[in-house]
């Protein structure tokens, strides 16, 4: 690990201004992903800005009947909150399916959204990776790709976004609140927060340099049955080969998002109108532009079978 300086910010605006002013600065909260990357020298920040003490660790009701979740709320606290368990059960189920209890105790809401891919080629500094070193190439293309992306990828990168929480947030239409270095704020729909890789896979989110996540807002509850189903190679502490987050109503309508298949949580709203016709119709539309490799083309069949199981669970 390379040397770095450290400071605590006294306000979100100060943290954002400091990050903008100091080249190579990064925010640190739980550190469950960043510290691993620093140890491997995949990331080498010159300055860490501690944002744990900014009062961003509460969950509060909003005027329109939703919830505002502070960026520093730990995953364990968010999943256990009685309002989340009652009204946003898909979120609780997604969170508890990820990582371990110890990591969930440290990981934050904002940090979870910013976790980086677990593509093995990204983690190997001896191999080319356009995310780690722009313009160097992508060793995953033509390499071992079983766990990598099948849709939304590009000729520059086929990695996937690894998280669970964001897949549930996508199906709920959450909004990410931020503060910029100049002190202004903005609200980013979760649909627009994570980027497709395109020619710049090292740019992973819509955040501007120095911009700090302050909260995630959940709209008023959707009702219906909430399901999160995660398929992985082992039953715990593993990232998804594929996951399905769903909120389904008694009349057969609903919302569905997929994880483990793309650079971002994958939701195609047009496909949701086909839910009454069954999983095959939904997946055919949602994955119409898929570009799988020989090693991961099974994910499309897996998506159909997993969604079929989710729909069956909703009817039971």
What pLDDT does 19 receive?
Answer: 97
**Do β-strands 47-50 and 67-70 pair in parallel, antiparallel, or remain unpaired?**
unpaired
Q: Are the C-beta atoms of 114 and 213 separated by less than 8 Å?
A: yes
- Asked whether the predicted pLDDT for residue 299 surpasses 80, the reply is yes
Q: Which helix (H) or strand (E) holds 212?
A: strand 212-218
Q: Which of 154, 159, 153, 150 shows the shortest CA–CA distance to 123?
A: 159
Instruction: Average the pLDDT over 99-124 and give the result.
Output: 96
In the three-class reduction of DSSP (H, G, I as helix; E, B as strand; rest coil), residue 309 is classed as helix
What pLDDT does 216 receive?
Answer: 98
pLDDT tens string 209-254: 999 999 999 999 999 999 999 999 988 889 999 999 999 999 999 9
**Which pTM value belongs to this model?**
0.97
pLDDT tens string 182-210: 999 999 999 999 999 999 999 999 999 99
d(CA 174, CA 200): 25
Instruction: Average the pLDDT over 53-78 and give the result.
Output: 98
d(CA 93, CA 104): 13
In the three-class reduction of DSSP (H, G, I as helix; E, B as strand; rest coil), residue 93 is classed as helix
- Asked whether the predicted pLDDT for residue 1 surpasses 80, the reply is no
In the three-class reduction of DSSP (H, G, I as helix; E, B as strand; rest coil), residue 207 is classed as coil
């Amino acid at each position: 690990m390379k040397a770095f300086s450290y400071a605590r910010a006294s306000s979100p605006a100060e943290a954002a201004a400091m990050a903008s002013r100091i080249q190579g600065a990064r925010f640190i909260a739980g550190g469950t992903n960043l510290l691993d990357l620093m140890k491997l020298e995949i990331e080498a920040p010159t300055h860490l800005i501690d944002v744990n003490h900014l009062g961003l660790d509460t969950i509060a009701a909003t005027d329109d009947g939703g919830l505002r979740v502070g960026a520093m709320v730990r995953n364990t606290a968010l999943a256990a909150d009685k309002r989340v368990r009652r009204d946003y059960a898909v979120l609780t189920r997604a969170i508890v399916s990820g990582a371990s209890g110890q990591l969930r105790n440290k990981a934050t809401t904002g940090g979870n959204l910013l976790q980086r891919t677990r593509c093995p080629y990204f983690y190997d500094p001896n191999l080319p990776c356009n995310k780690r070193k722009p313009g160097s190439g992508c060793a995953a293309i033509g390499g071992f790709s079983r766990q990598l992306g099948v849709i939304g990828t590009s000729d520059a990168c086929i990695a996937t976004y690894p998280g669970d929480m964001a897949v549930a947030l996508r199906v709920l239409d959450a909004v990410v609140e931020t503060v910029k270095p100049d002190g202004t704020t903005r609200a980013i729909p979760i649909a627009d927060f994570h980027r497709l890789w395109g020619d710049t896979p090292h740019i992973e989110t819509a955040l501007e340099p120095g911009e700090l996540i302050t909260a995630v807002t959940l709209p008023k509850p959707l009702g219906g049955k909430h399901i999160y189903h995660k398929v992985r190679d082992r039953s715990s502490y593993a990232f998804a080969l594929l996951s399905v987050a769903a909120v389904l109503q008694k009349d057969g309508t609903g919302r569905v998002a997929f994880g483990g298949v793309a650079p971002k949580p994958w939701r195609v709203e047009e496909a949701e109108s086909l839910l009454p016709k069954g999983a095959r119709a939904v997946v055919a539309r949602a994955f119409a532009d898929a570009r799988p490799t020989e090693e991961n083309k099974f994910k499309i069949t897996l998506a159909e079978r997993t969604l079929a199981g989710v729909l069956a669970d909703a009817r039971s």
